[in-house]
Amino acid sequence: MEVLDLAAAVSPDRRAVVFMLSIRGREIECAVARDALEAHFWLPRDAGEMLTLKTFENGRNRIVAVAQRKLLARPDGRLWLAANGFVTR
Q: Is there a domain that residue 27 lies in? A: yes
Residue 4 pLDDT greater than 70, yes or no: no
- Residue pair 56/63 in contact (Cβ under 8 Å)? The answer is yes
Q: Is there a domain that residue 21 lies in? A: yes
Which residue range(s) make up the domain with 7? 2-84
Nearest to 82 by CA among 29, 17, 20: 17
Q: Is there a domain that residue 29 lies in? A: yes
Residue 6 pLDDT greater than 80, yes or no: no
Domain count, the chain: 1
Q: Name every residue whose Cβ is closer than 8 Å to that of residue 60 and which is 6 or more positions away in sequence.
A: 3, 8
Q: Is there a domain that residue 53 lies in? A: yes
* Distance from C-alpha of 67 to C-alpha of 84, rounded to nearest angstrom: 13
Q: Is there a domain that residue 6 lies in? A: yes
pLDDT, tens digit, 9 for 90 and up, residues 21-57: 888 788 899 999 999 999 999 999 999 999 999 999 9
CATH number at residue 54: 3.30.160.140
Q: Is there a domain that residue 25 lies in? A: yes
Q: Is there a domain that residue 89 lies in? A: no
pLDDT, tens digit, 9 for 90 and up, residues 55-69: 999 999 999 999 999
- Residue pair 70/85 in contact (Cβ under 8 Å)? The answer is yes
